[in-house]
Amino acid sequence: MFGRRGQRLLRRIGRRGAASALQDANQMMMDGDYAGAADAFKQLAQGAENPFPRRAPFLYMEAGRAAILSGDSKSGVVSLKRGLTLLASQGRLHRMQVLGQRAVDELTARGLNVEAQGIAQLMGASLPKEPPTQPVPVKHPILPAHCPSCGGTVRPDEIEWIDNVTAECDYCGSPLRGK
């Protein structure tokens, strides 16, 4: 119906739409509108599950973080668990452990011990029988603090590297380069 060029155009609009929705969500987070950010990230995460399953877990984690900051720890924990479960089902157990531990630390720091325990339990249930082999440490360049494409927070100690100098934004998949 749209022809090849039209489809390309639609795809481009779709991508730009997602990128600016991410920018909006990150902006709400920075402005302290946590309830708004929680909704926006959750919508993005749900939308990402099909076309971009690799992105969805991080969007759920951010949705959970935002909801907890907004005071809605119940739906926050639901989103956190969804993100961690997705990571486990994708076989990304190392990332699941790192992100899960950060969530546990943040919940504990806010005095949400029951919620922290729930996350720790979920992580324990997904632990492999043998500890994963630690990747050989590589010297990577320093990355920008925020993704230039979507404004998402870049956490150098947690990010996935495509090669020695290029990492991948968790939220939008853009390549990130150090200087």
| Residues in contact with Zn ion by the rule CB under 5 A | 147, 149-150, 152, 169, 171-172, 174
Distance in Å, CB of 165 to Zn ion, minimum: 17
Contacts 24+ apart (CB under 8 A), 31-36: 34/66, 34/67, 34/69, 34/70, 34/71, 35/66, 35/67, 35/70, 35/72
The SS3 call for residue 161 is strand
Token digits for 57?
């877990």
Distance in Å, CB of 152 to Zn ion, minimum: 4
Distance in Å, CB of 34 to Zn ion, minimum: 20
39 vs 170 by CB, closer to Zn ion: 170
Question: Residue 170: which region, alpha, beta or left (left: phi > 0; alpha: psi -120 to 50)?
Answer: alpha
**Residue 152 near residue 146 (C-beta atoms within 8 A):** yes
Distance in Å, CB of 171 to Zn ion, minimum: 5
112 vs 169 by CB, closer to Zn ion: 169
36 vs 173 by CB, closer to Zn ion: 173
23 vs 46 by CB, closer to Zn ion: 23
